[in-house]
Structure 1
């Protein structure tokens, strides 16, 4: 596979985290960045693959039928008013798993 040289600006924090991850994994920053971009593109392709021309025309027809989202907003309001939310007004905190903990540790030092 041929390679192309690209310059990409990223946040200083992201760059520092990438350098730390490179040290932990003993792999070049360029290789990690390239793998991350490839993984992102694959996820985007998977997310966009199911969208067909028929889907797009259906979405366009819907957008034209309710351009200011008035019907959608009314449906949302009706749904909110109709159903009781058992945790409404309560603070919820998702527990951090081991992968998230490791990523936070790498990003925050």
Structure 2
């Protein structure tokens, strides 16, 4: 893992219980956990088939970054102003440096 490849800045946020909404249900608030420099490994877009009413494109991105403890699939990532939900977290020592890989899907 080379630091020079960390060209992107991502913000990892965790869900926290917020104040109740007008119906008494707890609203979810998002609290920033950390801002990390990351390498964009892949960015894919899967288009909806023709004639599939109401379906949207699915955007998936994978980031590689330094390890940060406690990142879970219930967290979300903000990158370039877009929100992504974390779908997978892989930990590894990417070439002898502690790192993690986050696979995220765009929230639409």
**Same topology, TM > 0.5:** no
Bigger strand fraction:
2
Bigger helix fraction:
1
TM-score band (shorter)? under 0.3
TM-score by length of 1: 0.19
TM-score by length of 2: 0.19
Q: Which has the larger radius of gyration?
A: 1
Higher relative contact order (CA 8 A, sep 6+): 1
